[in-house]
Amino acid sequence: MRVFVTGGSGFVGGHVIEKLVAAGHEVGAMARSEGSAEIVRGFGAEPVPCSLGEVGSDALSTFEAVVHCAAYVEEWGTRAQFWDANVLGTSQLLEVAQAAGVRRFIFIGTEAAVFDGHNLIAIDETAPYPERQRFLYSETKAEAERRVLAANDENFTTISLRPRLVWGPRDQSILPAILRMVDAGNWSWLDRGEARTSTTHVYNLVHAVELALHQGRGGEAYFIADDGETDFRTFLTALTATVGVVLPERSMPSWLARTAAAAVETVWRVCRIRRTPPLTRFATAMMSSSVTVRTEKAQRELGYGPVISVDEALASSK
C-alpha cells in the first residue's frame, strides 16, 4: 500500500515510517524543508514537499492511505497556533485526501481530547468530549478528531487512534522535559506522584497504526495503550533510571501547583511573554490527574495487542 505520513520528521511519525517501510509499504512523507526531507528520507520515506495546511491537490494523487501524525503539541501557545495546525491543518488534509481518492485516513489523536483536568479512570470510547474544554491542546485535538470521524463515508474510511502518554526511543517531549527540570533544579512530584496513568510505548502505537490500515470501523476512535497501568512515580522513576538519573524526592500538593500555574499563565499573558512558562495549567493537570484507558475495543476491532511490554521496553533502554 502507498501511504502518506505527516509529521514524519517527529517522534511518532518517524517510527510510523520505519514500521510501514519494514512491513513492505511504500511511504511518502510531508517535508516542509530540506532538513525535514533529509530526516524522512533517512527513515525510508520519499519526501513530498508540502506543509500542514498547504498540501497541494496533486500531492496525494498516488496514495491509498494517509497517516496524520503532525500536530501542534505544546504546553503553551496562542489559540491561532493550536487552531491553525490542529484543526485547520487537519481539515485541509482531509479535503485534499478525499479529492485525491485516498481510501483510508488514520488520525493520531489523544486521550487529551476528553480530558478537562479531572480524573478519568478506566474510560472507554463512550467517554464524552467535555462540555467545556479548559486547555487549547485538548480543545483543538478534540475538534480535529470530530472532523476526521465526521468525514467517514463508504469511499473514505477514517479512524482516530488515541494513545495515552507516548514514550520510547527518540522521545522528544516527556523524558527530555523531565531531564531539563532536574538539571535546572525545578523538578517536583505532584501529590508524591501517586496519580495513576496508562502509557503507550511508541512501538505499540505504530503497531496499531499498521493494523488500522486494514482493520477497524470507519468513523470510530480507539484507545491504544500498554498492558496494565501504573502511577507516575513508579513509571517516571524507572524511565529516568534508564539514563542514570535519580529523581529528587521533593513533592508539592497538586492544588498548590495548579494555583501557581494559573497565576503564572496570567502574568505571561498580561506581559505578552512568548516563551513557555515554567509552569502551565495543562502540564500540572496532566501530572496530577489519574487517567487510565481501556483498550478492549481496539483488541476486538483492530486485533490490537501490545508488541512490547513496559518492562521489556525499559530493560532495552538501559
Domains defined along the chain, listed by start: 2-171+200-226+293-311 (3.40.50.720)
pLDDT score of 101 = 95
pLDDT score of 73 = 87
User: E-assigned strands of 54-129?
Assistant: 65-68, 104-108, 120-123
Nearest to 222 by CA among 307, 290, 304, 314: 304
Is-contact 100 61, C-beta < 8 A? yes
Is-contact 305 228, C-beta < 8 A? no
> What is the pTM for the complete model shown?
0.95
Long-range contacts made by residues 261-268, C-beta under 8 angstroms, separation at least 24? 268/76
Largest CA distance in the chain: 55
pLDDT score of 246 = 95
User: What cell numbers appear for 306 in the block?
Assistant: 501490545
Q: How confident is the model at residue 277 (pLDDT cuts 50, 70, 90)?
A: confident
pLDDT in tens, 161-213: 999 999 999 998 899 999 999 998 889 999 999 999 999 999 999 999 999 99
Q: What is the mean pLDDT of residues 208-228?
A: 98
pLDDT score of 269 = 85
Q: Residue 317: pLDDT above 90? A: no
Q: Which residues are catalytic?
A: 137
pLDDT score of 270 = 85
pLDDT score of 308 = 98
Q: What is the mean pLDDT of residues 124-151?
A: 96
